């Protein structure tokens, strides 16, 4: 026998999480998650799942029947949209203005489809004009895919206009709302979004590991008309919906992550209690407070004012400042996490998150004071 | 705006879970899971992940470098093994003696590979002779895939002999250990298993949602020699290992399910504290106690004595007994969950789990007494 490791229980410190996610989790959500596990086919659990579906619908502002949480993180939510809707040989217009647009492109290629990439600079929103041109010159395209809120840069794109354009060109829209859901205005039905995915660990302030998704009736029709099977068994929504449908008996697909779903239920319940519009306003107010303080410290935003996400503030690291050393000091001295730059912004920017439960005045104050002390 | 649902917090009752999983979760694991969330790139979290890897290696009895937990349930662990190792056009011998062998076959087909199915009756173990014949008559086969412990029937197959056979025929072995890990003898290195996946929610008594996996050096070599990209971005182990490798800086792939990983760390730590062999013995002892009681009640096992899993006891429902009504009474009156039959055994058998923390004398006593009262 290989010997058993002798280890102590892990006791994490209490951090203030102001990076790009995971965000600070609501205390009520941590408590909900540790309630007793019950069976995933237990009638009481099934009732909780029905409530959860209505809560996800509210957060997305949709009446889409196919609305659920994928039992895995946001990148699995992204893959769920692509593998279910896109078939080999089809064309997808993919907008790339950061890490996650590039990830969409990789998903399209792994499906065996063709990605037509519309590039924008990192830090800029997706250009509606450039997308209009791409759609006009690619009449074979069946999808338009873009990131609503780019977590790698903090840029917000105009989802409403982009989805309207997609519709004009008979394309289905696939939207990444991982960082936008709960933090900025997002209206799935009003804007005509066809497939959308989010993450539990950003502005919902739930534990990481789940991905709320929703498919419009047109997307469901596309899924049902597939000529080839969905390449992923685990993410095949035609199978998963047998469990989530709520119409009569739920059939077993995979064992639901019971306790994580308790947590998601509680975080969305808290969002519904606050009200979506109130939550959007709160994020904006805290962003303005933070912005004022960061500008006083002489820090420059990566994104132009009109295109900034309130919940993800990317600022350039001042010349002569040691990126890693500052972040390490914040973590060790103040138990404060801010995010490093990612991709093209690695080593050049910090990403300061104000997400969900983390978008509070005490967090803004701590972050500004700690940065001031470390940059002095 | 669509109106916000007005909902109360969800308060599940305290059940005793004696179905096919999720099993009763250790109280320490529930507590570990609700510790404060920290960042997935936090140095303290990275340290916890290093420990977690050594704990998974211990549970599997392996020194495989590529050993980690997939951030999704066991069915995603299954898919991880197939999409990473099997390429389109290759042949896989798939053993089918229950629901999960059939699921393996579907995974093989979705990869674009060919499945040669070796069938055994439900309730029987995989026939080593039949597999030997299939291997001999399919020299083109590159893999042998089978389920060690069939959760749908309670049959245990001879993993050691099957893996030895695979090796003789230059095949890599892919083994489903979802229900076996922690409950019965399992030695990945000694038995020469090449790819294995398990689930958190069975004999580890952790919350559902994670899948420990391990790849042998030969499996890693096969993965590295692929001619085609892995079809799933989320499950691509060449990318995931950048985060799990532990060699220097961990690179971001997807946001790890931080709190669920706390839980897995604690459940495996408890297993290491008890000792694997002691845990195997405890499962066997509790099974013998349960078996004695079930036989006194006149209940017949689905699986022959020598092939039974201690942790999953499938018994035929006596003639004239209402399956659903009895399970409902157990749940409502005793807060006791036992499992329904699945697939070919639906409506014909019950599945009584004695898994991990659930394999205790008080659970055996409650189950026997409650069944006695309801069958009287």
A62 and B2 in contact by Cβ < 8 A? Answer: yes
CB contacts of A329 in chain B (<8 Å) are: none
Gap between the Cα atoms of A359 and B367, Å rounded: 48
Gap between the Cα atoms of B106 and A232, Å rounded: 10
B72 and A76 in contact by Cβ < 8 A? Answer: yes
pLDDT by residue (tens digit) across B67-98?
999 999 999 999 999 999 999 999 999 999 99
A30 and B39 in contact by Cβ < 8 A? Answer: no
Gap between the Cα atoms of A160 and A272, Å rounded: 23
How far A93 CA lies from chain B's nearest CA (Å)? 19
CB contacts of B106 in chain A (<8 Å) are: 233
* CB nearest to A44's CB, from B6, B13, B265: B13
A207 and B259 in contact by Cβ < 8 A? Answer: yes
**Residue A193 pLDDT more than 60?**
yes
Of A28-42, A286-300, A336-350, B248-262, the one with minimum mean pLDDT is B248-262
Q: What per-residue confidence (pLDDT) applies to B210?
A: 98
B10 and A54 in contact by Cβ < 8 A? Answer: no
pLDDT by residue (tens digit) across B125-184?
999 999 999 999 999 999 999 999 999 999 999 999 999 999 999 999 999 999 999 999
Q: What per-residue confidence (pLDDT) applies to A242?
A: 77
Q: Where is the binding site for substrate, in residues of B?
A: 351
CB contacts of B43 in chain A (<8 Å) are: 331
Report how many Cβ contacts below 8 Å link chain A to chain B: 288
pLDDT band at B252, cuts 50/70/90? confident
- ω into residue B22 within 30 of 0, thus cis? yes
Query: Which chain A residue is nearest to residue B327, measuring alpha carbons?
Result: A42
Gap between the Cα atoms of A351 and B298, Å rounded: 65
Gap between the Cα atoms of A329 and A336, Å rounded: 9
- The separation between CA B37 and the C-alpha centre of its own chain, rounded to angstroms, equals 26
pLDDT band at A246, cuts 50/70/90? low
* CB nearest to A5's CB, from B41, B58, B277: B58
Q: Are B80 and B213 in contact (CB under 8 A)?
A: yes
CA distances from A5 to B111, B120, B279, B357 (A): 37, 39, 15, 20
Evaluated on CA atoms A334, A336, A337, A340, the torsion sign reads negative
Query: Which chain B residue is nearest to residue A57, measuring alpha carbons?
Result: B2
B254 and A1 in contact by Cβ < 8 A? Answer: no
- The separation between CA B221 and the C-alpha centre of its own chain, rounded to angstroms, equals 25
CB contacts of A266 in chain B (<8 Å) are: 9-10
- Stronger pLDDT, A246 or B106, i.e. the higher one: B106
Structural domains in chain A, CATH included, are 16-22+275-375 (3.90.1150.10), 27-272 (3.40.640.10)
Q: Are B18 and B337 in contact (CB under 8 A)?
A: yes
**Residue A249 pLDDT more than 70?**
no
CB contacts of A276 in chain B (<8 Å) are: 1, 4
């Amino acid at each position: 026998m290989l010997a058993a490791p002798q280890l102590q229980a892990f006791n994490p410190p209490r951090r203030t999480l102001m990076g790009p996610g995971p965000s600070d989790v609501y205390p009520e959500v941590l408590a909900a998650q540790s309630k007793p596990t019950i069976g995933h086919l237990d009638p009481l659990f099934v009732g909780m799942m029905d409530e959860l579906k209505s809560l996800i619908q509210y957060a997305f502002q949709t009446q889409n029947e196919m609305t659920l949480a994928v039992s895995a993180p946001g990148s699995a939510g992204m893959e769920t949209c692509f593998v279910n809707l896109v078939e080999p040989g089809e064309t997808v217009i993919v907008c790339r203005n950061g890490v996650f647009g590039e990830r969409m492109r990789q998903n399209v290629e792994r499906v065996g489809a063709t990605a037509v990439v519309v590039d924008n600079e990192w830090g800029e929103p997706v250009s509606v004009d450039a997308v209009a041109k791409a759609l006009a010159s690619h009449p074979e395209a069946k999808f338009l895919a873009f990131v609503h809120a780019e977590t790698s840069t903090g840029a917000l794109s105009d989802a409403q206009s982009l989805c309207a354009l997609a519709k004009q060109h008979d394309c289905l829209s696939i939207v990444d709302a991982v960082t936008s859901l709960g933090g900025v205005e997002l209206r799935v039905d009003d804007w005509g979004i066809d497939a959308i995915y989010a993450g539990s660990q950003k502005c919902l302030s739930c534990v990481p590991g789940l991905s709320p998704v929703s498919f419009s009736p047109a997307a469901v029709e596309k899924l049902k008309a597939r000529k080839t099977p969905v390449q992923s068994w685990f993410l095949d929504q035609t199978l998963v919906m047998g469990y989530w449908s709520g119409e009569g008996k739920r059939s077993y697909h995979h064992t639901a992550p019971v306790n994580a779903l308790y947590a998601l239920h509680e975080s969305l319940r808290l969002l519904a209690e606050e009200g979506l519009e109130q939550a959007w306003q709160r994020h904006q107010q805290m962003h303005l407070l933070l912005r004022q303080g960061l500008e006083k410290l002489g820090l420059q935003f990566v994104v132009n004012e009109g295109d900034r996400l309130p919940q993800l503030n990317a600022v350039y690291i001042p010349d002569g400042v040691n990126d890693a050393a500052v972040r390490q000091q914040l973590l060790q001295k103040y138990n404060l996490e801010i995010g490093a730059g990612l991709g093209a912004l690695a080593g050049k920017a910090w990403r300061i998150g104000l997400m969900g439960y983390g978008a509070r005045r005490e967090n803004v104050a701590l972050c500004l004071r700690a940065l001031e002390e470390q940059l002095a």
